[in-house]
A and B are shown apart, each in its own frame.
Chain A
Amino acid sequence: MSHSQATDKMMVELRDLNKWYGEFHVLKNINLEVKQGEKIVICGPSGSGKSTMIRCINHLEEHQKGDIIVNGIPLNEDIKNIEAIRKEVGMVFQHFNLFPHLTVLENCVLAPIWVKKMPRKQAEAEAMELLERVKIPDQALKYPGQLSGGQQQRVAIARSLCMNPDVMLFDEPTSALDPEMIKEVLDVMIELATEGMTMLCVTHEMGFAKTVADRVIFMDGGQIVEENEPHEFFNNPQHERTQLFLSQILQH
């Protein structure tokens, strides 16, 4: 059990969030409040809308109804607000999405230099520090294609951290990895969690959820079915759907 590092400051607020893909109602009245320092793990069957929900937070997906507020900034049509939110929200993808034509270091310094207008020297120094934290400083001059999946995902985490974000979103960060590499990525995420980062993680790594999560959220059919602290969530699930899901992913 983790002791919570949450403060009273509200970091992410979703109010009555609704989203449609054409006629298809993917997100139904989602309400979620995440305080600074809180770690949320979101799980659920595929197609339940969990990825879509966190992708709405940095406007990779557009929502049609409801409010999203990140660190006090409302997410609306105003491009300035979208850009401001994206500066504060880092994201790690299932397929890493590193830029294959740039070296690891260039991947990391790109956004600080172009978005934050940071001098290159400073950006590189900070990037090297972060690469050290994810334990791959020696790969800085290689191209992503020369690295293993686990290394690539750690670079992707470092790349996000280079923007010094207040919130990190993880969209199934270990699903595309070989089993041998999952641990090295989870270790980095756990370290990040203990340092007090606000995190929203879509993942099925239940061990990770038990170790770091303040709350676990279970989604199905575009809505939040159940929300609880991890101990209760795993040992005493309230809804039948949650019980079924947990029995299926935990029985192996």
Chain B
Amino acid sequence: MKYELQPTLPPPANMIGVIGWLRKNLFNGPVNSIATIVVGYFLISFLVPTIQWIFIDSDWVGDSRDACTSGGACWVFIANRLDQFLYGFYPEAEHWRVQIAFIILIGSIIWLVLPKTPKKGLVATLLLVVYPVVAFFLLYGNAFGLTRVETHLWGGLSLTLVLAVVGIVASLPLGILLALGRQSDMPIVKSVCVIFIEIWRGVPLITVLFMASVMLPLFFPEGMSFDKLLRALIGITLFQSAYMAEVIRGGLQAIPKGQYEAADALGLGYWQKMILIIMPQALKLMIPGIVNTFIALFKDTSLVLIIGLFDVLAIGQAANQDPEWIGYSTESYLFVALLFWMFCFSMSRYSQHLEKALNTGHGNRA
């Protein structure tokens, strides 16, 4: 008996084309068509005036509220206060220091994110080890001929980024250690980690920040204090590391037991097994969860306004109080929201890209 291979055929024609798509997805039956029309109507009736208000009827140039006459958004307000939104109360003559610090940061991040740049390892190491020191002296000064800029002058977007970047960079490794500790066979290590995680997860971040700014100093001897920003940073980092630990624990549990056994059987030690085999797989699985935590952290930094640090949201609120510009709070809130959204959305997109790039095309059979 012989058999013939059947030819492969293209898919049926009604699966392709714009009209086919519209039919299938938007006007598939009467209920579907009505829903499309109703939703379309509301979308248009909301979007058109919004776009008109933001872009068409808005005022962009000028130096006082007198320039805002056309009835739309008054972006003059934002433009006039842009420096404050970006730098807070950082002395104007020293703005270049903040700019350099962030140009280096953004530059190296772009270097790391682009797919084909050489020496990523070196750049990453410099960014994690050398950059924090450089950034500290650039921003705080008091060395190398740079004047000191106290942290209570820091503010705006730059403060938000300082809080977020330090929080993100510090909470990930701490979270990994806590997650490993929670899985440990050693009872003391395990219970310390469990207690730590459960305490920090059980209190709201606002409480943590209050404790850091109000209660903590009470425990220090008279005259000794340490920086309020530093206290907030520590609070945020410890708080987020507890969340991070739980996300990572989820990832560790998703790794099949066979991977641990294969690593053991080959004679790898505990840390080799974790660093070479388990973590790379767990972190890959956990990219959505980790980035989710990063995004939450980024937005949570705005809570520091409650302890008197002027992050970008607090700057916006302060600007709203300015008698010269009263009545334009919508603009400032929208602007702050846009800033937050830009950063969070970029992180989200990058994480999706990373997931795809790291996919080596297989599940695990075990």
Contacts and interface: CB of A to CB of B under 8 A. Distances in A.
Interface string B322-365: 00000000000000000000000000000000000010111111
B56 interface: no
B262 interface: yes
A58 B365 CA distance: 23
B358 to A, nearest CB: 8
Contacts of A98: 262
A38 to B, nearest CB: 20
Contacts of A160: 265-266
A252 interface: no
A90 B276 contact: no
B284 interface: yes
A99 B366 CA distance: 11
Interface centre among A83, A89, A145 (most CB of B within 10 A): A145
Contacts, number: 81
Interface stretch (B176-184, B205-213, B267-275, B299-307): B267-275
Contacts of B361: 143, 145-146
B360 to A, nearest CB: 4
A96 B358 CA distance: 22
A60 B281 contact: no
B262 A145 contact: no
Nearest to B275: A114
A101 interface: yes
A204 interface: no
B267 A97 contact: no
Contacts of B364: 100
Interface of A: 58-60, 83, 86-87, 89-91, 93, 95-101, 110-111, 114-115, 143-146, 149, 159-160, 163, 176
Given A100-B360, A149-B365, 19 more contacts: A58-B264, A60-B265, A83-B267, A86-B264, A86-B265, A86-B266, A87-B267, A91-B265, A93-B261, A97-B256, A97-B259, A97-B262, A111-B266, A115-B266, A115-B269, A115-B272, A146-B362, A163-B267, A176-B365
18 contacts: A58-B265, A59-B264, A86-B267, A91-B262, A93-B265, A93-B366, A96-B366, A97-B258, A97-B261, A97-B366, A98-B262, A100-B362, A101-B358, A114-B272, A115-B266, A115-B268, A143-B360, A146-B361
